[in-house]
Amino acid sequence: MTIAKYILVITCFIVVSSPLAVLAKETKDLSTEDIYENRMALYVKTEAITNVPWYYLAAVDTFERGLRRSQKDRPNEDGFIAIYFSEEEWSGVTNPNRQDTNPISIQFFDGVGLDGNGDGKADRQDDEDVLYTFAHYLEGYGVTESDFKIALWERYNRVQSVNIPFGHAKVYQQFDTLDLDDHSFPMPLHHNYSYKNTWGDRRGWGGRRIHEGTDIFANYNVPILATAYGIVEIKGWNKFGGWRIGIRDLNNVYHYYAHLSGFEKEIEKGKVVAPGDVIGYCGSSGYGKPGTQGKFPPHLHYGMYRDNGYTEWSFDPYPSLKSWEKESRRNR
């Protein structure tokens, strides 16, 4: 091999492998705090070069991170940003080169990929390019809340896939940080309560349904607390759950609190909550028409449902409750 060829090979190797490989390795080795710092820097930078508020970008990024964790057809992200464009979407459906990074040919084939960091490439694996491409898409609809909803509808064509990131945006806007991982047990620990793992047990009322949740038995009117940062998605009566509240967290998980005796004042649909906020009170409502109570001992029925962008399914909340109980004890 001639020196010139050798240098060419080395150069190619460095150009191709260095930025991405280093980033991927670093992301894995970073603390959560450092990841949030890097991610926030990317949002803020993109906000500065477009007109899109950082919390819209954070909301969709977080929503799609949840989708990547729950869908088999989407790989986990290598970098800091999880917003997903397929190769076809990025390069253009008729583009013969699926790995195209040339902004001019991508544009020619009607691909969406853009160069966000001015390095002359529109790289689907580059965080700045992906985030800029997505911000540019949002900006095309405008930056009001209703514009944001329309852009989400055009991207996902599904009501819940509009509502969930829209809720995430409200949470990020209110707390002004990405560091929202704390949790709380759903009752204050100094009250008497008891629970065991009843996942999948048969239920006594309402036909053949399995028990999708954990029952936490306690006295009437023990305060019920939000377990995570999130937004109130549902509040009201349901014939099985009685007075119930549903809260959506930043992992796209819906937390279902049923059989309440009543709701905390100011808890309304669309309200942003933090772990430990009182949302209602323990009771025995449900199994009948609105107001029915006393058909069973007072308890909180606690359920968790994960949304994967297509559908929603229930999973066992017992391990989470155990770990939040420990976390609440440590924080006392």
Give kind and range of the element (H or E) at residue 173: helix 159-175
Region near Zn ion per CB under 5 A, out of 73-81, 176-184, 210-218, 264-272: 210-218
**259 binds Zn ion, rule: CB under 5 A:** no
Establish if 212 lies at the interface with Zn ion (CB under 5 A): no
- Which amino acid does the sequence have at 327? E
For the window 291-310, what string marks contact with Zn ion as x by the rule CB under 5 A?
----------x---------
Q: Choose between 225 and 300: whose C-beta lies nearer to Zn ion.
A: 300
Q: Which is nearer to Zn ion, 146 or 194 (CB)?
A: 194
125-141 CB burial, b ≥16 within 10 A, e <16: bbbbbbbbbbbbbbeeb
Rounded Cα–Cα distance for residues 1 and 72 (Å): 44
The least CB distance from residue 95 to Zn ion, in Å, is 53
Shortest reach from residue 213's CB to Zn ion, in Å: 5
Name the residue with the smallest CB distance to Zn ion: 301
7 CB burial (10 A radius; 0-12, 13-18, 19+)? exposed
Nearer of residues 129 and 215 to Zn ion, judged by Cβ: 215
Between 270 and 294, CB nearer to Zn ion = 294
Q: In what order do the strands lie in the sheet with 278-281?
A: 223-225, 278-281, 262-263
Residue 114 CB, shortest distance to Zn ion, in Å, is: 49
Of residues 176 through 205, those in contact with Zn ion by CB under 5 A are none
State the chain's maximal CA–CA distance in angstroms. Answer: 87
- By rule CB under 5 A, what count of residues binds Zn ion? 3
Among 71-79, 141-149, 184-192, 209-217, the segment contacting Zn ion (CB under 5 A): 209-217
Could you tell me the CA-to-CA distances from 127 to 23, 45, 46 in Å, in that order? 10, 12, 11
* Binding flag, residue 215, Zn ion (CB under 5 A): yes
CB of 301 to Zn ion, least distance (A): 3
Q: Are strands 242-249 and 230-238 parallel, antiparallel or unpaired?
A: antiparallel
Closest CA to 278 of 192, 185, 195, 193: 185
Contact region with Zn ion (CB under 5 A), list: 3-11, 68-76, 208-216, 313-321 = 208-216
Distance in Å, CB of 227 to Zn ion, minimum: 16
Question: Smallest distance, Å, CB 215 to Zn ion?
Answer: 4
**Does residue 52 contact residue 46 with C-beta atoms inside 8 Å?**
yes
Q: Which residues bind Zn ion (CB under 5 A)?
A: 213, 215, 301
